[in-house]
Chain A
Amino acid sequence: MKASSVTARRARPLLGTLVEISAQGRRAGPAIDHAFRAVERVHHAMSQQESTSDIARLRSGHRAALDPWTRRVLDRAEEIRLASDGLFDCVFCDYSLDGIAKGFAVDRAVECLREAGMGAGAVNAGGDLRVFGDESQPLHIRCGAQILYIGEIRDAAVATSASAGLVHPRGGTATVAGITVMAGDCITADALTKPCMLAPRRADELAGRLGARVLRLG
């Protein structure tokens, strides 16, 4: 997807960050609207702040009225918890789905763009991103005051985590400054950054179990 052939590119404040969606194809504008509605649904269901969100319901023990998407996220979170030997654990974090909801939202938005017939596109939720389409697209990683050009990616999801505030479920904190994970979908990439940060020597093995790869910088 060359810059000149991008049909539409928009950004909105959602999920506590700026969510950018670009799409190439006929009627790209309505396709992007549709994709933003999916991100809004995740925002309302899984927001930390909103008292009417599913997070508030989970914390008060009510699982009955959950959005089916929240159940999907919880199911995937459990799979990743098992695959990471408990290093990824949103129940430990009082049902914060922060470490996984953005990735899930990116995947749903990409699904919307594909369903709308877009030939290529990208969704970036504040650094958790996924690209699709036949042509490769550039990947950059933000590293402090610099942006690094990494290479070209195609049909891939990428998430990068910095260690600030990351707490180990069994005590202690992360020991590496930052890590990038690439996976087939963004929920997996997003979730895996945390266990890979907490156990950097096992990062390749943990990512490998879920078909993902770890990129280290510096």
Chain B
Amino acid sequence: MRAAWPAFIAAPLVVIPAAHATTYLTVEQAQQVLFPGAGFTPVELKGKERVWRAAGAGWFVVDEVLGKHELITYAVGLDRQGRVRGVEILDYRESHGGEIRDPQWRLQFAGKTARDPLQLDRDIRNISGATLSCRHVTDGVKRILALYEGELRNR
């Protein structure tokens, strides 16, 4: 294997304001990843989480978490005993311009699917750099486990 490097880092670099977005999976795709072949029935709950019953298999929950610079939509699959079967990221939105906490900015992502990619920016793949924390997602999963105990367990 011969690694190919960039010739050298020469100025001017292309500088991209860090406001990029990635859609990994639609809700339907994530359902099939976490519960292949299952049928899904929406469950009405009071909270902001979107919940489906996966026939004979468990629960599928979609939620979003808000960090300082990022808005992450993720899905959690719970088996019938309420154990985490898997966590998948659906959308990742990053901004350093302060838009993250602006409801109007967040609203533009509502109802988007992978077939309808957001062209916020160019194709920004392969970003090396400061490690992103997944703490908000991990905390979100804990909240969903509490939601299961309180609302789903006895349904």
B7 interface contact, C-beta 8 A: yes
B89 touching A13, Cβ below 8 Å: yes
A162: nearest chain-B partner, CB-CB:
B130
A122 interface contact, C-beta 8 A: yes
Range for the number of chain A residues in contact with chain B: 35 or more
Identify the A interface with B (CB < 8 A). 3, 9-14, 16-18, 20, 22, 29, 33, 102, 122, 124, 126-129, 131, 136-160, 162, 178, 180, 182-184, 213, 215-217
B54 interface contact, C-beta 8 A: no
Separation of A155 and B3 alpha carbons in the complex (Å): 5
**B contact residues around A138 at 8 Å (CB):** 123-126
**A contact residues around B17 at 8 Å (CB):** 145-147
B6 touching A150, Cβ below 8 Å: yes
Range for the number of chain B residues in contact with chain A: 35 or more
* A39 shortest CB reach to chain B, Å: 12
Main SS of the interface on chain B?
loop
B128 touching A180, Cβ below 8 Å: yes
In the complex, 6 of the A-B residue pairs with CB atoms within 8 angstroms, ordered by the A residue number, are: A12-B89, A33-B33, A122-B125, A147-B124, A150-B9, A160-B128
In-complex Cβ contact of A156 among B3, B13, B132, B137 (8 A): B3
**B contact residues around A160 at 8 Å (CB):** 128-130
